[in-house]
C-alpha cells in the first residue's frame, strides 16, 4: 500500500516536508538523506557511495503535456505547458554498476538555456550536473513523496522494477519535486529509490 502524501505545502524545509508524509525514523539514513537533499542527487550518491555516478537514458523525447500529468509545472494562475521533454533515466555507479535510482523528468525546454538543452539531448548528462555546469540558479520544491511496491511507483510503476533490478513487490521510496528558475517551474522530477540501498561504499544491500 502506497503511503503517498498530498501536495506538501505547509512545512518550510525539505526534511520537514518529507517528515510530514513519511515516518523518517523508519527509513535507513541513506534514504533519509536522498529523500530530503536539496542538492543534486547525482553528487549526493557519489559522496555516499564513494564512486562516480553516471546516467543511462532509458527514454527521451518531446511529448504533449496532458493536463493531468505534472500539474506542478503550470505557473500560478495558468494552464500547464503544451509540450515537455519527457526523460527517463537510471543513475548507475561507474564502478559497481549498481542502479541507485530511476527517475522521470518532465522539462520545459523553452525555459532553459540553449546549452543546457543541448546537453540533455546530445551529451545525455545528469540534469543536476548540467545545471551546475551552466550555473542555473534554481530552487527545488518537494510536492509529493511516499513508499510503495516498485511496480506501483508514481509515474514510473511499469519501468521501476526492471530499471532497478528488483521485483515489482520490492519496497521503494520516492519523491516528486519541481525545479523553479527565474520565478517559474522549469521541470518536474520523480525519483524512485530501492529501500535496500547499501549504507556505505562497497556495502551490501540491506
- Report which DSSP code applies to 67: T
pTM for the full model? Answer: 0.81
Give the phi and the psi of residue 194 in degrees, each rounded to 5.
-65, 140
Question: For position 6, what pLDDT does the model report?
Answer: 46
Rg of the chain over Cα atoms, rounded to whole angstroms, equals: 16
First-residue to last-residue Cα distance in the chain: 21
Quote the cell numbers at residue 70.
505534472
Q: How far apart are CA 190 and CA 106, in angstroms?
A: 9
pLDDT tens digits for the chain (206 residues)?
344 444 445 446 767 777 777 888 888 999 998 998 877 888 889 999 999 998 899 998 888 766 556 667 765 544 555 678 898 999 999 999 999 999 998 888 777 777 777 777 776 667 777 777 767 666 788 888 999 999 999 999 889 999 999 999 999 999 998 888 777 888 889 999 999 887 766 555 55
Spell out the long-range contacts of 14-23 with Cβ–Cβ below 8 A and sequence spacing 24 or more: 14/38, 14/140, 14/142, 17/142, 17/145, 18/142, 18/145, 18/175, 21/144, 21/145, 21/146, 22/145, 22/146, 22/147, 22/173
Q: How far apart are CA 62 and CA 146, in angstroms?
A: 28
Instruction: Report the CATH superfamily, name and number, of domain 14-194.
Output: Chorismate lyase-like (3.40.1410.10)
Alpha helices per DSSP H over the chain? 14-19, 29-36, 41-49, 114-118, 127-133, 160-164
Q: How far apart are CA 8 and CA 52, in angstroms?
A: 32
Nearest to 67 by CA among 82, 50, 49: 82
**Domain range summary for the chain, segments of one domain joined by +:** 14-194
CA-to-CA separations, 126 to 52, 105, 123, 151, 197, in angstroms, rounded:
12, 11, 9, 24, 20
Amino acid at each position: 500500500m502506497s503511503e503517498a502524501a498530498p501536495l506538501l505545502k505547509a512545512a518550510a524545509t525539505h526534511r520537514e516536508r518529507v517528515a510530514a508524509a513519511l515516518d523518517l525514523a523508519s527509513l535507513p539514513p541513506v534514504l533519509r538523506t536522498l529523500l530530503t537533499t536539496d542538492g543534486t542527487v547525482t553528487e549526493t550518491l557519489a559522496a555516499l557511495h564513494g564512486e562516480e555516478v553516471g546516467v543511462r537514458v532509458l527514454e527521451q523525447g518531446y511529448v504533449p503535456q496532458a493536463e493531468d500529468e505534472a500539474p506542478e509545472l503550470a505557473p500560478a494562475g495558468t494552464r500547464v505547458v503544451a509540450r515537455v521533454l519527457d526523460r527517463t533515466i537510471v543513475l548507475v555507479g561507474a564502478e559497481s554498476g549498481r542502479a541507485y535510482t530511476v527517475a522521470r523528468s518532465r522539462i520545459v525546454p523553452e525555459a532553459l538555456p540553449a546549452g543546457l538543452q543541448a546537453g540533455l539531448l546530445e551529451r545525455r548528462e545528469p540534469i543536476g550536473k548540467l545545471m551546475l555546469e551552466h550555473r542555473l540558479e534554481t530552487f527545488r520544491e518537494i510536492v509529493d513523496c511516499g513508499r510503495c511496491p516498485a511496480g506501483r511507483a508514481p509515474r514510473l510503476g511499469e519501468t521501476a522494477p526492471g530499471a532497478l533490478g528488483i521485483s515489482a513487490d520490492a519496497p521503494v521510496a520516492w519523491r516528486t519535486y519541481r525545479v523553479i528558475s527565474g520565478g517559474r517551474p522549469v521541470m518536474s522530477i520523480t525519483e524512485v529509490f530501492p529501500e535496500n540501498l547499501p549504507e556505505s561504499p562497497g556495502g551490501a544491500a540491506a
